[in-house]
Amino acid sequence: MRTTRLLRLAAITIGIAGAVSMGACGGTPDNPRWSISGTVSGAVSQGVTMSLTDASNATTATDTAGHYSFSGLSNGAYTVTPSLTGFTFNPASRSVTLSGADIVGQDFTATALPHLISGTVSGAVSQGVAVTLGGTSRASATTDTSGHYFFSGLSNGNYTVTPSLTGFTFTPANLPVTVSGADVISQDFTATALPHLISGTVSGAVSQGVTLSLTGASNATTATDAAGHYSFSGLSNGAYTVTPSLTGFTFTPASRPVTVSGADVIGQDFTATAVPHVISGTVSGAVSQGVAVTLGGTSRASATTDVSGHYSFSGLANGSYTLTPSLTGFTFNPADRSVTLSGADVVGQDFTATVVQPGSHTIWGAVFGAVMKGVTVTLGGASSATRTTDSSGLYSFSGLANGSYTLTPSLTGFTFDPASRSVTVNGADVGGQSFSATRLFCTPELTECSGICVDTQNDTENCGGCGSHCNLPHANAICSSGTCKIGTCASGWLNCDGLDANGCEQPSMCNRCCPKGLVCTRVCYPTVGCHMECAPRSYGG
């Protein structure tokens, strides 16, 4: 009996313990509760919807680590299915049977569905534009003949689409794109061409003043500068032709075809060649044949008149020339001629010869270099006269008797080489008395005054500026730092007030400077007589 009671008590104890254990893990013996859990990983983890169906229905979402769980479930058969737009899952679902215990490790792997970003480039260019994709993944594409581009096989994410092509800007400069479970289309851009330039140089027989004409995609004209440079700016892409022109010249090449395609085009150069021309005329009057005619200016040459008095110079380029006839014993009217060639021959440059009477000759010449016109040429010697050079630098003295002369050119701010010329007239004219002018340049510490470089800081004739002469009363003046100052006082004078401006203001008869209020005057005493001393004015005797 006692044994039976012990067995029954043990059974009851075991039963109670089993009931407590069952309640702690999954519920009560009559209503057990279990859980199903797992993890989503791969292309996405957080925010995946997990659906539970069959024995009971429920939904939840994965946390930031991809974990999910369904709790409080009864025993039975269930199906767990993950879902998120833009993704597939492996496996697509899981069948789970709860039978008195939790089930863990019901995991899934997410894979992003591939999507598309596409668009069009239009405007100044469409084909051949490079389009770059950045962000979640990177790629590049090039627009087709219609300007279309696309990127395929893209996963969900944030992207940036950027077009580029040398010589163009795009609006917008780039586009941010978010792929989220669907294709993104119409990511369009408008292209605008950057302005470009065509430039070059004209060299050869002429450089400055050549007209350049631009035709083709747009029209324009310009002219070369002093160095022969030209340019056309603000040009869009396209086909152009550049053509140089200037009367009296030909150019190689005659024109240049130029294509602007996203960049400046430089080095479109031309070489100019002068079309040769002729200057001609006749000498008549007291003599015609055998007269020497000299050509000066752009080029130099000489010719001699034929039996009919004709002369000519051929093969000349455009430019400025001077014609001068000469023959011993004759003068010519005019004495010379200035001629400008500009794309055509110049004829009819005639002269009339006159026999030179005894004692009537001419000295002539020219000034060239840094200045030609306006130079004063002084004639000295057997007779005196002055002449001023013309625009070609020419001068002449006529009606001169035989004798010795000196020619001296002068113009403020210029020096001449030689400084003068000695000329002897002896029964014939004397020509070719030329001088070379050089502009006077003073060193930085000197100043040009009337054609001479002077030190205005120390020159008493130009103290502090040109023509400012130092002249201080009763003083030998000096110039120091551009200011007139007393060097020494003249004999019999003193500088008592210490000022330079009024010179030495007191006589030195008292052999000293009198204090203020006193003057140097003659003072007489009954016993010693009179002498000079500093005293009030009323003491003078």
Tokens of 184: 């993104």
* Beta-bridge partner residues of 353: 285, 332
252, 273 Cβ separation under 8 angstroms: yes
pTM (predicted TM-score): 0.35
Torsion of CA 68, 70, 71, 74, to 10 degrees: -150
Over range 392-403, report the average pLDDT: 92
Tell me the C-alpha distance between 98 and 273, whole Å.
104
pLDDT tens by residue, 193-250:
889 999 999 999 899 999 999 999 999 999 999 999 999 999 988 999 999 999 878 9
Q: What is 277-398's CATH number?
A: 2.60.40.10
Check whether the bond before 114 is cis (ω within 30° of 0).
no
451, 458 Cβ separation under 8 angstroms: no
What is the enclosing helix (H) or strand (E) of 17?
helix 2-25
CATH topology of domain 33-112: Immunoglobulin-like (2.60.40)
Q: What angle do CA 101, 107, 113 make, to 5 degrees?
A: 155
Tokens of 221: 């004209």
pLDDT tens by residue, 80-92:
999 998 789 999 9
Tokens of 244: 């140089």
pLDDT at 504: 92
Q: What is 196-274's CATH number?
A: 2.60.40.10
How far is it between the farthest Cα atoms of the chain? 189
Tell me the C-alpha distance between 351 and 355, whole Å.
13
Tell me the C-alpha distance between 329 and 345, whole Å.
31
User: Number of C-alpha atoms within 13 angstroms, CB side, residue 300?
Assistant: 1
Please measure the distance between the N-terminal and C-terminal CA atoms of the chain and give it in whole angstroms: 180
Nearest Cα residue to 168 out of 214, 130, 119:
130
Residue 357's pLDDT band (cuts 50, 70, 90): low
Pick the CATH number of 115-193 from 3.30.420.40, 2.60.40.10, 3.30.9.10, 3.40.50.300: 2.60.40.10
Cβ within 8 Å of residue 27, ≥6 positions away = 33, 34
